[in-house]
Structure 1
Amino acid sequence: MKHWLKLLLCVPFLLLSGCGEDEKEVMVRQAIAIESSAECHLCGMIITNFPGPKGQAYSKGIQGNMRFCSTRDMFAFIVDPENQHNIQEAFVHDMAVTPWDHPDDEAYIDAKKAFYVIGHGKKGAMGPTLASFSTQADADAFVSSEGGKVYRFEQVTLDLLISMNNLRTESSLPQTAE
């Protein structure tokens, strides 16, 4: 009888201990303020020393977030085959509501829902970068004034990022899937 009692007392603890792991996996993470000394996860440059939209990402099994000096560096990390399946959350600046030269940490949006303009004339930390927007209308307005072409998160590939150094005119941009 004592053996059964011990077993019954252990079962709730075993069940509860398993709950904590699931809870950690579904936890929604947020973008955080970037300190003035924060370094880019990819290139090591000081993030706040450069203009243009920045990026942040969370990866499975890593407590803190990874911060990037540009959307281009963030995507270079995310689309790398070693990393692409581990990304849980990603954030970029909404450039329709924050200045290009000093993006505001309050202007982060979900990177997977954003619209990106590639092939425009504005520069980021490493030269050409992806201008990020929360709406198609804002991205289209940016294209009208600065040039480029609109892409969605899932359309950004390593080949597209590599070709950005040579892009400036819409006719030279790779075609997107409609």
Structure 2
Amino acid sequence: MTLPLTSSPTTRRRLLCGCAALAAVALAGCGRKDEAADAGRPHEIAAQSSCSLDGMLLADYPGPKGQIIYKGDSQVNWFCDSVELLNALLKPEQVRPLLTAHVQDMAQADWDKPVGHWVDARQAFYVLGSKRHGSMGPTAASFAEEAAAKAFAAQWGGRVLRYAEIKPEMVDLSGGALHDTRM
């Protein structure tokens, strides 16, 4: 079947408007996908980044840090200690859908001034009960790889756990802030 070479201006106009609308929808969808990917990426700690729970400046304290971004919220919720992040994930006061949660890989980051080296908090390995302390005292040292977590535990003590093995009572926040003399 062939289309007539002459068509009414109304038909041509509708066809062009329809094509333009489809192109706009396709481009808008691409932009949203990129925005969603960017929103799920970990952010870097800035000098003014403070803990969402207690306002402590993250850069002032040693040990692994954490961050959560909730769906529908572009703001980073910072945690000055991985135990605080785990507590928020395992014992949330509010149930909110997560976009992303990250902790630092302490095999790569400097313990005293940790920067960067973010890994998915739900894929990480943790060492609980070690002699190394974070900003709130005893912490959950976080690692991207199990071998690094085991090496840390061999040097500093503690036991290696996957995220799925950590129970809410293991990340209790009742004692850390009570013993912080720098606040």
Normalising by structure 2, report the TM-score.
0.74
Describe the SS at the equivalent of 2:78.
Answer: strand
Rounded to whole Å, the distance in 1 between the matches of 2:29 and 2:154 is 51
Contact persistence 1:70–1:126 (CA under 8 A): yes
Match of 2:50 among 33, 39, 42: 39
Q: Is the 2:66–2:104 contact (alpha carbons within 8 Å) kept by the matching residues of 1?
A: yes
125, 130, 137: which is aligned to 2:147? 137
- Where does the alignment leave 5 or more consecutive residues of structure 2 unmatched? 1-7, 177-183
State the match for 2:164 in structure 1: 154
Partner of 1:96: 107
Q: Give the AA of the match of 1:44.
A: G
Equivalent position to 2:94, from 64, 82, 90: 82
CA distance in 1, matches of 2:58, 2:103: 13
Identity of aligned residues (%): 30
Deviation at 1:7, TM superposition (A): 10
Aligned residues: CA RMSD: 2.9
> Retained in 1: the 8 A contact 2:103–2:142?
yes
Q: Tell me the CA shift for residue 20 of structure 1.
A: 6.9
Question: Number of matched residues?
Answer: 164
- Distance across 2 between alignment mates of 1:117 and 1:143: 6
Indicate if the aligned counterparts of 1:68 and 1:74 stay in contact, CA closer than 8 A: yes
C-alpha separation between the residues in 1 aligned to 2:68 and 2:134?
18
Q: Distance in 2 between matches of 1:39 and 1:149?
A: 29
Residue of structure 2 in register with 1:116 after alignment: 126
Q: For residues 45-89 of structure 1, what are the alpha-carbon distances to aligned partners after superposition, in whole Å with 9 as ceiling and x for unaligned?
A: 111111101011211010122111110111122221624x51121
Matched letter for residue 130 of structure 1 = A
- Check conservation: 1:39, 1:46, Cα contact below 8 A: yes
Matched, 1:69 2:80: yes
Q: Aligned to 2:119, what secondary structure does the other structure show? A: strand
CA distance in 2, matches of 1:131, 1:90: 15
Deviation at 1:147, TM superposition (A): 1.0
**TM-superposed deviation, 1:157:** 3.0
Describe the shift of the 1:69–1:77 C-alpha distance in structure 2 as closer, same or farther (beyond 3 A).
Answer: same
User: How far 1:26 sits from its partner (Å)?
Assistant: 4.7
Larger Rg over CA atoms: 2
**Unpaired segments ≥5 residues, structure 1:** 167-178
Q: Distance in 2 between matches of 1:32 and 1:14?
A: 30
- CA distance in 1 between partners of 2:156 and 2:126 (Å): 13
CA shift in 2, pair 1:7/1:74, >3 Å:
farther
Tell me the secondary structure at the aligned position of residue 131 of structure 1.
strand
